[in-house]
Structure 1
Amino acid sequence: MSEEKICLGDVLVAKKRIGKYIANTPLVKSSWLSNLTGADVYMKLENVQVTGSFKYRGALNALFWAKENHINKVFTASAGNHGLGVAEASVHTEVQATVCVPQTASPLKKQKLQSYSISLIQHGDECDVTEAYARRLANEKKGFYLSPYNNKEVIAGAGTIALEMLEEIPTLSTLVVSVGGGGLASGIAIAAKSINPDIKVIGVVAANSPVMSTSVVAGRVVRAFQDKTIADGIAGNIEPESITFDFVRELVDDWITVDEEDIVSTVFEFLDNEGMLIEGAASATVAAISRKLLKFGAKEKVGIVICGGNIARNDWREILVQHLVGVTKA
């Protein structure tokens, strides 16, 4: 297990720090997914969180921690959502923020970042290249580098999602979450299993970037095959010494890999059935259920995290055209 311990107490501290700034997002039953599976499937709608993603929770907790420790300059790297969380958190904490994003980051996320009074730098074509650059910049400028996942406060902030879910429905028996660097899965698993050791946590990865599940199988952090994916929020390799690896290896009970075609199609199906646009990372989690890659007991209470809704306009337009034209031709 990682030498850096995180416990339920850390998550409770995070809740106290960020509680009045975040949205306690809705936890709603999905008739669509429940009918498909025979289980009672509840969706935690972090797509309607401040900044449109769960990432705000961890970023805000981390920046409050930074302020408490007299750190006034933070540097981070992000595919977009964590950067947005840091940018919004900087407004409330008055911590100076520099956000580095890949050149390939979602145009929508870059556009939103430009509306904040932060330093925005585009560097590299892959997330791990951008992370290395942001770390180097933080060192040169004598600032603090805040990882989007490899950070105790970020993980604890994400864990507040599990607190809210289990406070509302204590009988949830399985939680399904998307996994990139593992911050969300680590926080949720730590909090949930502290409350109910028998609860199952299922990790979902994109087939075009299955870094964490590949690393768990290998027994160490490895560089994995990368291909283009609409699930940019869970794409990219991870830091070799990331504390999240040991957490998910111990606490995530099973892994599901979702093909790119299914992730893309599920964006349309979620809009069609639930009336909301979600981003690829969230769609991967939904697809794991809608494609019946997971089996549940009759009326089993299942919670899934809809981790974000920041999908680029060109992406969702293309998906809608493809599916609507297909329906018309049929």
Structure 2
Amino acid sequence: MKAILWGKYRQFIRKPGALIVTTIMCMAFAFLLGKSSFTKIEVPVYSVNGTEDIHSIVKDLNKSESYTFKVFSEEETKKKVEEGTSEAGIALAENNYTLYRIADSSNVIVINRFLEKYYQNKQQKAAMIQLAQNHQDAEKILADNEANPILPVSFDSDVSEKKSTYNQALQSLFGFTLFFSIYTIAYTVVEILRDKQNGIWDRFILSSTSKTQLYLGHLLFSFIVGYIQIMLIFAIFKYGVGIDFYGNYYWVFLLIIPYLFAIVALAILLTGLVNTASQFNSLIPLITVSFAMLGGAYWPLEIVTSKFLLLLSKIIPITYGMEMLNKVITQDASLSEILLPAAVLLLMGTLMLGVGIRLIEKRHV
């Protein structure tokens, strides 16, 4: 088996183009579709009547994780909105604001709510300080309470927000990574078919290497290549792009194993169903794209209303791969909660592997 792995490695080093192309395409699609979650949206603002506290207000507003408020002149701010380069422009005053927009988009609505909440809190603090006997002591107490709240409810609200918030960045990253990994694994597994067509497989059989070692060597190599590709993509997005895995990044190393096993088995099954490599190359894009759409790689299954499509998704490996990643990474699920999807993937993989190897042995002699 070591000789098989070494030979596949040497062959891969000579022609690494497929892995490089699929990796680049995966990162490009994931980044472009999740771009809104990677970067903050710039919102131009200007001071009304020379508001002296404008920079302090902007500093507080820039604590937002989604928007960056940047000071411009009144003419520049309105011009950006008129030309469509910015969805909204804000005129900031001491105790109120004016919002300029062309349409009520989702970003405009969120910005308006954010500003409303900010000014409401600011007015409440000003009223509390005004009613206090000692204004300086009141300001100090309020500042201390913000820094060290008596009831740290923010932690619970963060957890609930994390569990209920749809993360476009992670959805794109997980979906396209699982999607493109099918291509990578499939085009390494199909080498078994090419070896049979070229007569190389017969030479392997005549050697001292058993069929078990032959299959295990090919499948293990495909698994390793797929594993390295996925880990490389996730590492680039975590350390290069700065995507947030909510502290559960290293779970990915474990979660991806049952999914890759199922995909390797799927590739073996497809190899057993066709007679030539050209037939395989025609079939794999159809299967892969269909699985991605039905399995929630392109969009979350929560938005699908068709019961028939949801039923079909139950036999798609990507469905369970996405479920495991989303549950553990974004919802902080326990190990027991992912045992079911992991077990389903292992069962699917075992069945497809057994049927696929039997078909290969029966058809391609």
Give the alignment's TM-score, normalised by structure 1. 0.29
Which structure carries more relative contact order (alpha carbon 8 Å, separation 6+)?
1
If each structure's helix is expressed as a fraction of its own residues, which one has the higher value? 2
If each structure's strand is expressed as a fraction of its own residues, which one has the higher value? 1
Report which of the two structures shows the higher radius of gyration computed on alpha carbons: 2
